[in-house]
């Protein structure tokens, strides 16, 4: 387990390129199970979560080559429809294999993902939707055992606009008999990227990017290729790295409309932002952060995956702000660690009240999950003295060598390899 040692206080400036989106890749990869043969996923990020999904797909019989962000997946020899606990426990997104396996092979056995660091995170909507499509689903010995000779089209109204349920049901519906309508579907760009890939594979889908997606099932899908969209959460995290250090960041390869809500909040907090042809430029001035409240919501609202980073930023604002998470009500494990750095934050129900301080001071802090870790790195970049962020394997799940990007912008950050951190 590696750690980061950060000597804070450096103003970040310069240009960076944003990688492909983890959460798009994690849906695109299992979608290849819907066809026979070799598919190509361009711009795939080299992240631990991607390697976890690769291991799972490989366990099912898929072969792959992965070089320079080009991922080729060959599904010609799928030999198993069984996603065991060892794989699924590492990453909840493994449950994305359920829909494609069931649709293509008529059966799937997928471990239940269990709890997560910030709450139960159920998958009832995935299962209810598949049942509506005629699947016979049993929960036994920690596994979802699903069977359906042929799924059939259905009208599915999601109680919550769930990203994962939309992705799973969308994939399943492509090979069902008849028409499926998913109401209150997720509009996140990662779902649109998945739907675009399915279209290229021969699926018939309407309403991509809207809350009603209609799928006319087809008999077969064919392998294809797609560009993975850029990672809006990596981009947002790097923008806050610029903002919290009073720096100037220019990033390329990212569509600004993926980040409208974050950009608006950064502007409200005093940053100047220029958007131009897939380039975003942020200019911040040190020591004058205007307190700015956020409330997370589904796309295009402010993303829950940028909540922890915003709390770190607001810890240094000139006054009081509140951050409310409406997607994951308990996602605040970063708060006690930020308090160790001198932040003044209290949490009540699903809101954090942040009283801005003039400075944070370096300390040892512990990563607890991916975005929590990102917030600790951001705080460390702005803190006086030395911050050690332990257990950065959480960060490696979702940010590809973040320390190298930050270093290129002028941060004083080192990865220290070791087992005891
Ligand atoms: N929910 C249910 N039942 C379900 C599914 C979801 O009650 O069957 C609830 C969840 O508990 C949550 C809300 O619905 O309160 C939204 O969950 P959603 O299903 O949209 O989340 P997810 O698909 O499990 C994806 C991302 C997360 C991101 C959320 C929200 C992937 C692989 N993961 O998760 O990303 O936070 O959408 O945008 O796409 C991350 O990257 O750090 C991360 C956690």
**What's the mean pLDDT in 250-257?**
91
Phi, psi of 208 (to 5 degrees): -60, 130
What confidence score (pLDDT) does residue 420 get?
A: 59
Residues 382, 247: one domain? yes
Confidence of residue 120 (pLDDT cuts 50, 70, 90): low
* Residue 14 structure tokens: 């310069």
What confidence score (pLDDT) does residue 253 get?
A: 86
What confidence score (pLDDT) does residue 213 get?
A: 98
Residues 344, 367: one domain? yes
Pair 356, 315: CB distance under 8 Å: yes
- The residue nearest atom 23 of ligand 1, judged by CA position, is 164
Q: What is the pLDDT of residues 58-98, one digit of tens each?
A: 999 999 999 999 999 999 999 999 999 998 998 999 999 99
Residues 107, 242: one domain? no
Q: In 217-348, where do the E strands start and end?
A: 221-222, 225-227, 248-252, 272-276, 279-283, 294-295, 320-324, 344-348
**What's the mean pLDDT in 135-148?**
96
**What's the mean pLDDT in 227-237?**
97
Which of 204, 227, 250 represents a domain boundary (last residue)? 227
Q: What is the pLDDT of residues 142-177, one digit of tens each?
A: 999 999 999 999 999 999 999 999 999 999 999 999
Residues 54, 108: one domain? yes
Residues 214, 250: one domain? no
Q: Is residue 167 part of a domain?
A: yes
Q: Give catalytic residues, as residue numbers.
A: 116
Measured from the Cα of 23, ligand 1's closest atom is 39
Residues 131, 93: one domain? yes
Q: Is residue 298 part of a domain?
A: yes
Average pLDDT along the chain: 95
What confidence score (pLDDT) does residue 278 get?
A: 86
Q: What is the pLDDT of residues 357-386, one digit of tens each?
A: 999 999 999 988 999 999 999 999 999 999
Q: For the range 89-95, what are the long-range contacts, defined as Cβ-Cβ under 8 Å and sequence gap of 24 or more?
A: 89/113, 89/114, 90/52, 91/26, 91/49, 91/52, 91/53, 91/397, 92/116, 92/121, 92/164, 93/23, 93/26, 93/27, 93/49, 93/53, 93/164, 94/52, 94/53, 94/56, 95/123, 95/126, 95/164, 95/168
The residue segments making up the domain with residue 312 are 3-19+230-416
What confidence score (pLDDT) does residue 288 get?
A: 87
Which of 174, 193, 227 represents a domain boundary (last residue)? 227
Name every residue whose Cβ is closer than 8 Å to that of residue 348 and which is 6 or more positions away in sequence.
none
Q: Is residue 252 part of a domain?
A: yes
Q: Does the pLDDT at position 287 exceed 70?
A: no
Residues 271, 260: one domain? yes
| Total count of domains within the chain | 2
**What's the mean pLDDT in 343-354?**
98
Does ligand 1 have an atom closer than 6 angstroms to the CB of 162? yes
Residues 143, 220: one domain? yes
Q: Is residue 421 part of a domain?
A: no
Which of 227, 248, 279 represents a domain boundary (last residue)? 227
* Residue 157 structure tokens: 């109204």
Please state, as a whole number, how many other Cβ atoms lie within 10 Å of the Cβ of residue 138.
Answer: 11
User: How far apart are alpha carbons 184 and 81 in whole angstroms?
Assistant: 29
Residue 35, domain CATH: 3.65.10.10
Does ligand 1 have an atom closer than 6 angstroms to the CB of 121? yes
Question: 3-state class of 129 per DSSP?
Answer: helix
Please state, as a whole number, how many other Cβ atoms lie within 10 Å of the Cβ of residue 179.
Answer: 16
Does ligand 1 have an atom closer than 6 angstroms to the CB of 160? yes
Q: Does the pLDDT at position 116 exceed 70?
A: no
Q: Which helix (H) or strand (E) holds 325?
A: none
Residues 55, 83: one domain? yes
What confidence score (pLDDT) does residue 115 get?
A: 62
Residues 28, 106: one domain? yes
Pair 70, 42: CB distance under 8 Å: yes
What confidence score (pLDDT) does residue 118 get?
A: 61
User: How far apart are alpha carbons 337 and 311 in whole angstroms?
Assistant: 12
Phi, psi of 168 (to 5 degrees): -65, -45
Q: Is residue 291 part of a domain?
A: yes
Does ligand 1 have an atom closer than 6 angstroms to the CB of 398? yes
* Residue 261 structure tokens: 């809500």
Pair 69, 101: CB distance under 8 Å: no
- The residue nearest atom 7 of ligand 1, judged by CA position, is 122
Residues 380, 242: one domain? yes
Q: Is residue 169 part of a domain?
A: yes
What confidence score (pLDDT) does residue 421 get?
A: 58
Confidence of residue 119 (pLDDT cuts 50, 70, 90): low
Measured from the Cα of 370, ligand 1's closest atom is 42
Residues 319, 350: one domain? yes
Phi, psi of 246 (to 5 degrees): 65, 35
Q: What is the pLDDT of residues 264-280, one digit of tens each?
A: 999 999 999 999 888 99
User: How far apart are alpha carbons 215 and 235 in whole angstroms?
Assistant: 32
Q: DSSP character for 37?
A: S
Q: Does the pLDDT at position 282 exceed 90?
A: yes
User: Is the omega angle on the peptide bond into residue 300 within 30 degrees of 0, that is, cis?
Assistant: yes
């Amino acid at each position: 387990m590696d750690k980061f040692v950060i000597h804070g206080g450096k103003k970040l400036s310069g240009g960076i390129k944003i990688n492909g989106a983890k959460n798009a890749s994690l849906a695109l990869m299992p979608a290849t199970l819907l066809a026979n043969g070799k598919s190509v996923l361009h711009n795939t990020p080299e992240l631990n979560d991607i390697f976890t999904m690769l291991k799972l797909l490989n366990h099912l019989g898929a072969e792959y080559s992965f070089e320079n962000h080009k991922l080729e997946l060959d599904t010609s020899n799928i030999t198993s429809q069984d996603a065991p606990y060892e794989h699924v426990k590492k990453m909840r997104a493994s449950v994305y294999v359920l829909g494609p396996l069931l649709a293509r092979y008529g059966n799937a056995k997928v471990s239940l993902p269990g709890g997560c660091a910030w709450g139960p995170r159920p998958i009832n909507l995935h299962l209810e939707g598949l049942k509506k499509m005629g699947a016979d689903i049993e929960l036994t010995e920690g596994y979802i055992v699903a069977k359906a000779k042929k799924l059939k089209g259905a009208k599915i109204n999601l109680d919550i606009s769930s990203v994962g349920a939309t992705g799973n049901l969308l994939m399943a519906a492509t090979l069902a008999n008849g028409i499926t309508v998913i109401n209150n579907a997720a509009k996140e760009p990662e779902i649109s990227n998945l739907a675009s890939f399915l279209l290229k594979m021969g699926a018939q889908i309407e309403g991509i990017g809207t809350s009603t997606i209609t799928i006319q099932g087809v008999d077969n899908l064919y392998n294809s290729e797609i560009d993975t969209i850029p990672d809006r959460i990596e981009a947002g995290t790097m923008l806050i790295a610029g903002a919290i250090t009073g720096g100037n960041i220019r990033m390329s390869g990212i569509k600004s409309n993926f980040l409208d809500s974050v950009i608006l909040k950064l502007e409200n907090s005093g940053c100047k932002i220029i958007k131009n042809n897939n380039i975003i430029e942020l200019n911040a001035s040190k020591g004058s952060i205007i307190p700015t409240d956020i409330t997370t919501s589904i796309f295009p609202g402010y993303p829950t995956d940028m909540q922890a980073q915003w709390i770190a930023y607001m810890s240094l604002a000139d006054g009081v702000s509140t951050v409310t998470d409406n997607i994951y009500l308990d996602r605040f494990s970063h708060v006690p660690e930020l308090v160790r750095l001198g932040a003044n934050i209290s949490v009540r129900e699903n809101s954090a009240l942040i009283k801005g301080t003039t400075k944070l001071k370096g300390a040892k802090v512990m990563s607890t999950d991916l975005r929590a870790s990102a917030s600790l790195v951001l705080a460390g970049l702005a803190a006086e003295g030395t911050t050690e962020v332990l257990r950065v394997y959480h960060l490696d799940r979702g940010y590809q060598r973040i320390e190298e990007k930050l270093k290129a912008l002028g941060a004083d950050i080192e990865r220290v390899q070791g087992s005891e951190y």
